[in-house]
Amino acid sequence: MSHPMLPATTHDEAAAQLFVRDFKMFLTESVEPGHRARAERLDPGASSNARVETVYDRLHADEGFRAWASLRRTSQEMLWAGVSESVARQADSLEALAAAAPEHGSLTLDPNFVQPAYLDSGDVHLMPGGYAHDDGALLQGAVMDRGGAVYMLGRNGGLMNDVRGHTIVAHIFAQYPDLDPREILELGCGVGTSLIPVASAFPDAQVHGIDVGAAMLRYALARARHLGATVHLHQGDAENPPFPDASFDLVFSSVLLHETSPAAIANIMAQCYRLLKPGGVVVHLEVPNRYDELDLWGKIRGEIEADYNNEPNWKAAISADYRALLAQAGFSDIAVGYQAATSTPLRGAGGFSDTSMGTFRSWFVASARK
Amino acid sequence: MTQPAPRPTMPTRAKRRIPVPGQSPAEDRMLAMIAALASELAVTRERLDSVERLLERANIVDRAAIETFTPDAAQSSDRDAIRRRLIAHIFGPLRSDADAQGDA
Ligand SMILES: C[S@@+](CC[C@H](N)C(=O)[O-])C[C@H]1O[C@@H](n2cnc3c(N)ncnc32)[C@H](O)[C@@H]1O
């Protein structure tokens, strides 16, 4: 399945994007195991108080590791270069398509908006221009949408990239079956890949999304309109969302927290509490790993992602004690665990448990009630 | 006639690109060029494969004719554009490096 705003590809653009996909797969499946084995040989053992740092440094002494790490980054740069070239070619048709969309929903931009320092300090996933890029157009959103689908290698709902959103709905059905939200907010909605499935599960609700980038949000609105979803999008900071207290029945985030900062995570928890009506529900979905459960290579891989793919808050986000953070923010009925990934959330299907089924099979979820 | 508004150019370089400790920028650049080259080759092979299959399906493929084909002026200039884009793509890392030096 696809949608009208998704940039199309020519024969050669599609071939170039498939090359990036397969090149990444080669680097991961055929080259990485060798470095993983070497890391185990370089392990100073559990008694070392700087185990990960030591192995990470030692790995860098090897030319092959350095070549692999730099080609991994290069493959990511090629992904964005290929997608941007393709999007730029379609600039006129994408703008025209956006202008021709049925006019429902809204976009509220803040001309004085300043992006948080942690986003300004490096472009996450090496996407040139970053999330907050604004050139008055909507192309950055198209780049993010298409690039995201290629980046996930088709493991998150193909070109719709919507499994995370459906999984959040499945979690609500499993843990809060009585919830009938009238007002919904997503913090860090991006181009709306997760917001749309949540909106379609609750068709009577008013649905809002907030994010940092004007270009991305212009695209998100056009994308939602063409998909028949009515959403109200706002440029703003999840640490200080521009809404009055007790405005929402459901506030959620999807893979937002690991791209913020430790201080921001605590602030966002507090804001969710403030924004919810009594009895309202908060759901945070995150990458399905916990730092202390990772093996040595899992931890090394995290360092590689932080350094060479601009994921600086990854470690803090998967080390955080969400039960304590939610309790501290005032929440009760706290649930922390893993929700089975799905594209077809059903009431009564459950799917929430204490154990991860692995990457892309389940997502980490921390949720609670006000 | 009114001029269309100039289209904003898309950003091409990501903020925060740290060196891989112990790796020279020359090696990083060289590897990137090889990766770009491999991509170009994969794209070309895929296109050629499409063309050959379509010709075969239409029953008009004459492989000997490929060897004696001579492009006219317009066709030559199309080919120039293809070749120059390929050069700009493969040797792009040289250019981003030069641009970064220029910005510094
Ligand atoms: C990985 S994307 C996820 C997008 C979407 N939630 C999804 O599931 O596909 C993370 C998003 O969080 C946004 N973001 C990060 N920090 C933010 C902040 N402080 N306020 C608002 N949005 C933020 C980024 O701009 C980006 O769009």
Q: Where are the domains of chain A?
A: 158-369
Which tops the pLDDT comparison, B19 or B79?
B19
**Local structure of residue B4 (DSSP, 8 states):** P
Amino acid at A130: G
Q: Apex CA A278: angle with CA A275 and CA A282, to 5°?
A: 55
Q: Which residues of A touch B28 (CB under 8 A)?
A: 70, 74
Is residue A180 within 8 angstroms of chain B, CB to CB? no
Query: Can you name the residues that pair with A297 across neighbouring β-strands?
Result: none
Using the mean position of ligand 1's atoms as its centre, give its distance from the Cα of residue A94 in Å: 23
**What distance in Å separates the CA atoms of residue A120 and residue A140, rounded to the nearest whole number?**
16
- Contact assignment for B21 to A60 by CB distance below 8 Å: yes
Nearest alpha carbon, ligand 1 atom 10: A256
* Res B1: pLDDT: 45
> With bands split at pLDDT 50, 70 and 90, how would you rate the model's confidence at B3?
low
* Res A204: pLDDT: 96
Q: Which residues of A touch B8 (CB under 8 A)?
A: 135-137, 139
Q: Is CATH 3.40.50.150 correct for A158-369?
A: yes
Residue ranges of chain A with pLDDT lower than 70?
153-154
Is residue A129 within 8 angstroms of chain B, CB to CB? yes
Residue B2 has pLDDT above 60, yes or no: no
Closest CA to A246 of A205, A208, A212, A274: A274
Using the mean position of ligand 1's atoms as its centre, give its distance from the Cα of residue B81 in Å: 39
pLDDT in tens, A68-99: 999 999 999 999 999 999 999 999 999 999 99
Using the mean position of ligand 1's atoms as its centre, give its distance from the Cα of residue B80 in Å: 42
Residue among A118, A160, A256 whose CB has most ligand 1 atoms within 8 A, to mutate: A256
Q: Apex CA A100: angle with CA A94 and CA A102, to 5°?
A: 125
* Res B92: pLDDT: 78
Using the mean position of ligand 1's atoms as its centre, give its distance from the Cα of residue B56 in Å: 49
Mean pLDDT score across all residues of chain B = 84
List alpha helices for A204-356, DSSP H.
214-226, 262-275, 296-308, 314-319, 322-328
ipTM entry: 0.87
**Residue B35 contacts residue A24 (beta carbons within 8 Å):** no
* Res B7: pLDDT: 66
pTM as predicted: 0.92
Report the b/e string of A92-129 with b at 16+ CB within 10 A.
eebbebbeebeeebebeeeeeeebbebbeebbbbbbbb
Residue B25 has pLDDT above 50, yes or no: yes
Cα of first residue to Cα of last residue in chain B, in angstroms, is 40
Q: Which residues of A touch B6 (CB under 8 A)?
A: none
Is residue A348 within 8 angstroms of chain B, CB to CB? no
Minimal Cα–Cα distance from B72 to chain A, Å?
24
Using the mean position of ligand 1's atoms as its centre, give its distance from the Cα of residue A192 in Å: 10
**Residue A227 contacts residue A201 (beta carbons within 8 Å):** no
* Res B6: pLDDT: 62
**Residue A156 contacts residue A192 (beta carbons within 8 Å):** no
B39 closest CB neighbour out of A70, A78, A87: A78
Nearest alpha carbon, ligand 1 atom 9: A193
Minimal Cα–Cα distance from A17 to chain B, Å?
9
- Contact assignment for A121 to B23 by CB distance below 8 Å: no
Closest CA to B48 of B31, B70, B63: B63
Residue B67 has pLDDT above 80, yes or no: no
Is residue A74 within 8 angstroms of chain B, CB to CB? yes
Amino acid at B72: D
| A133 three-class SS | coil
* Res A351: pLDDT: 97
Atom of ligand 1 nearest to the CA of A213: 25
Amino acid at A51: R
Which tops the pLDDT comparison, A347 or B94?
A347
